Structure 1
Amino acid sequence: MKKGFTTIKDIARELKVSPSTVSRALKNHPDISEDTKRAVNELAEKLNYQPNAVALSLKRQRSNTIGVIIPEIVHYFFSSVISGIEDVAYEASFNVIICQSNEMADREKANIKTLLANQVDGILVSVSKATKDFSHLEKIKNSEVPLVFYDRIIPGFKADQVIIDDFDASYRATKHLIDIGKKRIAHFAGPKNLLIGQHRKQGYQKALEDAGLPVEEELVFDADSFEKARLAVLKVLESGIAIDGLFAVNDLTAIGAMQTLQKKGIKIPQEVAVVGFSDGRFSGITDPTLTSVDQHGYEMGTVATQLLLKRIHSKEDYPCETKVLNANLIIRGSSVFSP
């Protein structure tokens, strides 16, 4: 037997049968005897035979593979989204190719080229922070490859999408801080070019307005990472800006802020209460534990994949769908003090 990938012809040669007999035996064809099927499958197992995915995709005009582009795999939210995607894809006998943009537009463009070159049947995308030109995403549509956005979407871009109500979730997170008596609430915000950043800031501002509290731009900081949060907290303390509450655009930002505040001797939540967003794995092990908005990443992954598979299998075009998932606030020790 020659080295390399085993083919149907190799199995046929060993068993002295025709390649078509091997092919039908592997497909459990009724015209093939049970003895022949057993012999073929045993030899295929022994020789580690794998069907040629490229040849199969050309034959049936489908690769049974979907592509996924995530901004950063280190975020618990995105890793839980991937779990949801893979579970649904596996049940549907689809493979998943996962690409990471690492929050870079150029990397995102390269990811899309790779996925299209691999003839994926559909693509799930959460756009990077740096993405401002969307021509590479238009290429997906022009290639007639189904596209579904999840979490981070593009305004006006016609495609299926799965999101949460960021405005409402942020409103409720800020209102919680107001309800426990906080009046000088800072917001560590996300990028202005992303809708999620805009909507979370708007929800924060609306909650302040409804409570009769002033909306002060000096309390809003561009900080959406652990390191940026650390620097923002130092800026707050050095400038003498008084805050008693903090709503962060994501959990890592909230944790970075908490740790820096604590290093400076500020008690949480007695002096400054903190709320994060995404309810990742770290939120339950910080000290104190972190109050956070649960984004339901796993559910987002499952719903997005279901939308994509529906679009892949559909023989007719139909209007784009938007699924809005509910998010709930998980209250913990960073906002409620338990002596």
Structure 2
Amino acid sequence: MDNNQVTIHDIAAILKIDSSTVSRALNNSPRVAKKTKDKILKKAAELGYQRNHLASNLRKSKNFTLGVIVPRISRHFFSTAIAGIEETAFKAGYTVIICQSLESFEREKSIVETLLANRVDGVLISISMETKNYDHLLGLKQRNIPYVFFDRHCNINENSNVLIDDFDAAFNATQHLIDQKSTTIAHFAGPQNLEIYKNRFKGYKSALEKNNIVFKEELVFTSSLMENDGKLNVQKMMNLSYKIDGLFCANDVIAIGAIKYLKEINIKIPEDIAIVGFSNESISSVIEPALSTINQPGLEIGVAATELLIAKITNEGEKLKNETIIIKTSLIERKSSLRNS
């Protein structure tokens, strides 16, 4: 059988399954049972249907469509990054399909397959907190579909990224707390399988070491950085024998959860505990006290990532060098950390 002429009807006939079911399975429809879907995908791969079908379409023409995968659209950083992505894509004549993984690895994998089925020309991705295996992303590479990581990336070879210097930003945030006379500083960290949270932790630790403050493992609390984690981590923190007077949080959401709970238990901010967050969410400036934070320029990151991806797509005949673009951040000082004002 000629692979280039394999149809869903051929697959259906071989497996003795209705062709509409084969079509749904190849389009990753939730209406098809996993066992059946796996059987159809396996047979399609054996016959070369999916691979050759996608490759021939990508060779013949572009769809001028970009796929975008973010953890949560509701986060201020991602919504502003999407604004930059859409504006840049529109100017270049591309439409955008926006998907959110909701921090689920399985959902992220499924989205990648859906984008492949829709024959997007390239993908912009910020990976989920659960993502530890990157085979689904290597699948994009094998099918010659360019992709660019922004914000959350993974440490695999030959990638293009648009990032901030998470280490440097975290170092500056922690140094600010030290400058405000904090000497026992806790860190509410994100999952350490993700490079950004790993680097934020390293920046925190480095600032302590530079100032001759002994690093204490028990002052680091790792979670998924949701608002309720702020309350839970504060409860654990208050049970320690140390008098903690500074807190660096790996995002604003958990920092806001911590502030709310500390106020409930009558801990004064910043007098008792000075706090710095990360990302500059919209609520950060209006909560009381207003949250000191690292400003992550989402719009600029979205623009740069889209320009880089389109360059990779339009230079498909040449091997475009992979690169990492670093966007500058800044520390916004607000009441939650300012003891010396």
Determine whether 1:137 maps to 2:130.
no
Aligned twin of 2:272: 271
Q: How many residues align?
A: 283
Determine whether 1:237 maps to 2:238.
yes
Distance 2:187 2:240 in 1: 16
Q: Is the 8 A contact 2:180 2:339 kept in 1?
A: no
**Once the 2 structures are TM-superposed, how far is the Cα of residue 248 of structure 1 from its aligned partner?**
0.2
- Name the % identity: 44
Distance 1:305 1:59 in 2: 21
What SS does structure 2 have at the residue aligned with 1:148? Answer: strand
1:134-158 CA-to-partner distances (Å, cap 9, x unmatched) read 1000010111011100111111232
Q: Is there any run of 5+ residues in structure 2 with no aligned partner, and where?
A: 1-56
What SS does structure 2 have at the residue aligned with 1:277? Answer: coil
Q: Is the 8 A contact 2:58 2:119 kept in 1?
A: no
Distance 1:214 1:105 in 2: 36
Aligned twin of 1:16: none
Q: Is there any run of 5+ residues in structure 1 with no aligned partner, and where?
A: 1-56
Distance 2:58 2:127 in 1: 30
Aligned twin of 2:14: none
Aligned twin of 1:102: 102
Aligned twin of 1:112: 112
Determine whether 1:246 maps to 2:253.
no
Query: TM-score with structure 1 length normalisation?
Result: 0.81
Q: Is the 8 A contact 2:64 2:121 kept in 1?
A: yes
Give, as a single letter, the amino acid of the residue that structure 2 aligns with 1:190. Answer: G
Give, as a single letter, the amino acid of the residue that structure 1 aligns with 2:265. Answer: K
> Which runs of at least 4 in structure 1 moved beyond 6 Å after TM superposition?
57-60
Give, as a single letter, the amino acid of the residue that structure 2 aligns with 1:295. Answer: Q
What SS does structure 1 have at the residue aligned with 2:278? Answer: strand
1:82-132 CA-to-partner distances (Å, cap 9, x unmatched) read 111011011111100001111011000000011010011100011111011
Distance 2:61 2:334 in 1: 51
Distance 1:60 1:96 in 2: 20
**Once the 2 structures are TM-superposed, how far is the Cα of residue 318 of structure 1 from its aligned partner?**
2.1
1:276-332 CA-to-partner distances (Å, cap 9, x unmatched) read 000111111110111000111111100000000111111311220110111110000
Aligned twin of 2:320: 318
Aligned twin of 1:15: none
Matches within 5 A, 1:221-236: 221-223=221-223, 224-236=225-237
Query: TM-score with structure 2 length normalisation?
Result: 0.81
What is the RMSD computed on CA atoms of the aligned residues?
A: 1.5
Determine whether 1:70 maps to 2:74.
no
Distance 1:59 1:134, change over 3 A: closer
Distance 1:61 1:138 in 2: 22
Give, as a single letter, the amino acid of the residue that structure 2 aligns with 1:116. Answer: L
Matches within 5 A, 1:1-339: 61-223=61-223, 224-314=225-315, 315-337=317-339
